[in-house]
Amino acid sequence: MRKKFIRTLTILGAMFIALLNTSCEDSFNDPILNNNNELALTVSSPEMVLDESKPNENLTFNWTTGTNYGTSASISYVLQIDKEGNNFATPLEYEMGTNNFSFSINAVTLNFIMLNTFGITPGTSQKFEARIKATVTKSTAAPQVAVTSFLITPYLPVSKELYIVGSATSAGWDVTKAIALTPSTSSPGKFVYQGILSPGSFKLPINRDACWCQDFYTKSASDDAMMVHNIGGSGDDLQWQITQGGQYKITADLLKLTIVIEAISGPSFTQIWMVGDASPSGWTVDSPQAFTQSVDNPFVFTYEANFVQGDFKIFAGPLGNWCGEWFRPLTNGQALSSTAVAQNSGCDVDNKWKIAASDVGRYKITLDTQANTIHIQKVNLYIVGDGGPNGWNIASPVAMEYSNGNFTYNGPLGESNATGEFKVSKFYGDWCDGDWINAATANQSLSNGNYIVTHGCDGPDNKWKLQTGNAGLYQMTINLDTQSMTIVHQ
């Protein structure tokens, strides 16, 4: 056992000495510590035309180690870049440290340097020189120098912002309110607008400067799918035309100078709002009351409320913008019975519907944004049933009285049938033509005003039921806003 232990130590010792000898030999032969190379500098692209569509393209400088004169000392490097003929008087300088033999500059950074450090005009070729200086640590020898030359052509970067303005937009021709397009996160120079455009024209400014002297992108004279970059507002002011209003997607590529204008199927608007002093919404575009979008037909929107004397119009956004998208009558004060409606933007035409003193009441407004039609219908309530004053007459019942949001009936119940029943309709004509106010439960007592709203003939067809001895004079009051109902024996 002892001999085996000694033999193991001997083997391990031999391995250690071998590793030590190998390490020493490698150290003395390290080409960086002992090198007698001639310093040389090369560039990856002797002639480079920078392209904004290729932001990850690099200009790379490579150099050899140079010599440390056999001193085993380290060598540090400095890379300098300057215009040809400047003799590196005011160069762009990079401290590269030691053991570093390559340096790359991407196209975006290089273009910025060309334009802002050296003042090169975009599209103009300029010859540059680069030199590498190698200095041996703790040496009195002069730095080694290697020089190479290359040609660079920079580009004019496209705008980081893009807007849309024109009579086809909600901003109109007020460039200070131009609508921003969304820049692509994956494609440099590409912008997207998605929203409503009305019949009219538009062009694309790069900012909201009021002077109209900013750069614009306008339509090419030869191809509607191509753009022209008008610097400083110069050039032909050709605009794209929208002939039919609706939802659109615009994709503008400033690098390729292309534009794609796509009409999007489906509703132009997903929300619309009531605005006006005739309605509970009032004159606000910041937080107006919304219409309800139909589940069955998303082009159709409805709004029901009590209207007082005043005016109203229908807002389609964007919120907070008085000169945004609107649905307005064709003429100011247009008759409420008319189904005509105009969808337009801006503040130039501001027609409104008018509620006169004689028109005050509750209304249900149905707007079809696809057919561009509107139905403004006064809401009345009718008692229907053999326990009420109209019997089972849905064709021509007598309406309840309306005042300040309340519908009221004062009169007999159970006169024709002392144990009859009734329900309340919001329409007349045929049994399945509209909404019903039904009792919450079947055969509900007159003292219980809880109710549900049903549509057409969908049911449940619950009714209020008079019991023996209930017949007499009553006051019935219904408030549709508070969803309250009282039936009081007089």
**In this structure, how many other beta carbons lie within 10 angstroms of the beta carbon of residue 246?**
19
Query: What confidence score (pLDDT) does residue 35 get?
Result: 64
Residue 162 · residue 180 · CB < 8 Å: yes
pLDDT, one tens digit for every residue, the chain (490 residues): 434 333 333 333 433 333 334 333 333 344 455 667 899 999 999 999 999 988 889 999 999 999 999 888 999 999 999 999 999 999 999 999 999 999 999 999 999 999 999 999 999 999 999 999 999 998 888 999 999 999 999 999 999 999 999 999 888 899 999 999 999 887 889 999 988 888 899 999 999 999 888 899 999 999 999 999 998 877 788 999 999 888 899 999 999 999 999 998 878 888 999 999 999 999 999 999 999 999 889 999 999 999 999 999 999 998 999 988 999 999 999 999 999 999 988 888 899 999 999 999 999 999 999 888 999 999 999 999 999 999 999 999 999 999 999 999 999 999 999 999 999 999 999 999 999 999 999 999 999 999 999 999 998 999 999 999 999 999 999 999 999 999 999 9
Per-domain residue ranges of the chain: 41-153, 163-263, 273-377, 382-489
User: What does the alpha-carbon distance between residue 338 and residue 326 come to, in Å, rounded to a whole number?
Assistant: 17
| DSSP code at position 232 | G
Domain 41-153 and domain 382-489, same fold? Reply is: yes
What amino acid is encoded at 30 in this protein? Answer: D
Collect all residues with Cβ–Cβ distance below 8 Å to 199 and sequence separation of at least 6.
168, 242, 243, 244, 245
- The residue behind tokens 């070729």 is 125
190 beta partners? 253
- The residue behind tokens 């049933």 is 385
Q: Whats the size of the chain, residue-wise? A: 490
Backbone dihedral angles phi then psi of residue 67, each to the nearest 5 degrees: -125, 150
User: What does the alpha-carbon distance between residue 293 and residue 296 come to, in Å, rounded to a whole number?
Assistant: 9
Residue 193 · residue 230 · CB < 8 Å: no
Pick from 116, 90, 94: which is nearest to 103 by CA?
Answer: 94
User: What does the alpha-carbon distance between residue 438 and residue 461 come to, in Å, rounded to a whole number?
Assistant: 7
CA 169 to mean position of chain CA atoms: 15
CATH of domain 382-489: 2.60.40.3620
The highest-level CATH class for domain 163-263 is mainly beta
Pick from 129, 111, 131: which is nearest to 121 by CA?
Answer: 111
Residue 178 · residue 205 · CB < 8 Å: yes
80, with CB counted inside 10 A (0-12, 13-18, 19+), is middle
Pick from 311, 307, 313: which is nearest to 354 by CA?
Answer: 311
Whether the bond into 460 is cis, omega within 30 of 0: yes
Buried/exposed 364-393: b ≥16 CB within 10 Å, e otherwise: bbbbbbeeeebbbbebbbbbbbbbbbbbee
The highest-level CATH class for domain 41-153 is mainly beta
Q: How far is CA 18 from CA 11, 12, 22, 27, 120, in A?
A: 11, 10, 6, 14, 61
- The residue behind tokens 């139909």 is 294
Backbone dihedral angles phi then psi of residue 129, each to the nearest 5 degrees: -125, 145
Query: What confidence score (pLDDT) does residue 18 get?
Result: 39
Query: What confidence score (pLDDT) does residue 247 get?
Result: 83
What are the DSSP E strand ranges found in 117-165?
126-136, 144-153, 163-164
User: What does the alpha-carbon distance between residue 53 and residue 184 come to, in Å, rounded to a whole number?
Assistant: 13
Residue 316 · residue 275 · CB < 8 Å: no
219 beta partners? 227
Backbone dihedral angles phi then psi of residue 90, each to the nearest 5 degrees: -135, 70
CATH of domain 273-377: 2.60.40.3620
Query: What confidence score (pLDDT) does residue 276 get?
Result: 98
